[in-house]
């Protein structure tokens, strides 16, 4: 772990069990993890081990059964639903495998939409993101006019536009060919270093995981 940097994410004793139709699926049994500002961490684990569940809980999209999640000095579980939505908007960047761009907005508007709502639009940073992500010639296009790699670069730009505390990504390069995945992840690593935010990325690829600062593995409901 990077020393001397503030902790942006702290997860303590997190537990989660899904209960449906008389069935109980114990997914997280007491997960602990911390990420410092600027630290880039890969989260691996077999299919069904609970990686997406953990990311959803951190993002406040679902509630844990027990334990605590702190983003900087905010306890996510203490917030109301509206508070968690505001936290996602203002302090978190989210990138998923399906890029979730807004189909009716062009690239430019997809990029600025969230940061404007959050009141955190920064023109100089926006221009830098457009340049670094190579989106200058694509600003007036719509998502369905972009390749997968281009859409993913827009999704990363959008997630970083408001300079979040923490970037959460769930297999962000899962749909991309190896070379494109490498390029997109290299950009994400550099831009994360630029903003100094924390970065937690789910990946099945040990090769991609090895390019981050640290790797944690989720197995049998625990992180090692």
> Which residues contact ligand ATP (rule: CB under 6 A)?
18, 20, 25, 27, 45, 47-53
DSSP annotation string for 18-47:
EEETTEEEEEEEEEEEEEETT-EEEEE--T
Residue 110 interacts with, from Mg ion, ligand ATP, none (CB under 5-8 Å by kind): none
Q: Which of residues 51 and 191 has its CB atom nearest to ligand ATP in the complex? A: 51
Query: To the nearest whole angstrom, how small is the minimum distance from the Cβ of residue 51 to Mg ion?
Result: 5
Q: Which of residues 32 and 147 has its CB atom nearest to ligand ATP in the complex? A: 32
Binding mask 112-151 for Mg ion (x = CB under 5 A): ----------------------------------------
User: Footprint of Mg ion on residues 37-56 (CB under 5 A)?
Assistant: 52
Q: In 37-161, at which residue ranges do the beta strands (DSSP E only) sit?
A: 40-44, 66-71, 74-75, 92-95
Q: Confirm if 136 and 168 have CB atoms less than 8 A apart.
A: no
Enumerate residues 6+ apart whose C-beta is below 8 A from 31.
11, 13, 14, 15, 54, 67, 218, 221, 222, 223
Total binding residues for Mg ion by CB under 5 A?
A: 1
């Amino acid at each position: 772990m990077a020393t001397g940097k503030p902790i942006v994410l702290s997860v303590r004793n997190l537990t989660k069990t899904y209960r449906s139709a008389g069935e109980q699926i114990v997914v997280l049994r007491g997960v602990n993890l911390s990420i410092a500002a600027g630290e880039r961490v890969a989260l691996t684990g077999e299919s069904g081990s609970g990686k997406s569940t953990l990311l959803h809980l951190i993002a406040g999209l679902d509630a844990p059964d027990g334990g605590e999640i702190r983003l900087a000095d905010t306890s996510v579980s203490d917030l109301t639903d509206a508070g968690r939505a505001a936290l996602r908007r203002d302090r978190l960047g989210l990138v998923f495998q399906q890029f979730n761009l807004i189909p009716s907005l062009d690239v430019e508007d997809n990029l600025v939409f969230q940061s404007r709502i959050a009141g955190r639009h920064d023109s100089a940073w926006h221009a830098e993101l457009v340049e670094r992500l190579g989106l200058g010639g694509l600003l007036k296009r719509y998502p369905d006019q972009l390749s997968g790699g281009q859409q993913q670069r827009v999704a990363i730009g959008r997630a970083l536009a408001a300079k979040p505390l923490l970037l959460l990504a769930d297999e962000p390069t899962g749909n991309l060919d190896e070379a494109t995945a490498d390029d997109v992840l290299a950009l994400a690593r550099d831009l994360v270093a630029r903003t100094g935010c924390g970065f937690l990325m789910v990946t099945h690829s040990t090769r991609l995981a090895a390019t981050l600062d640290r790797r944690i593995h989720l197995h049998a409901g625990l992180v090692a």
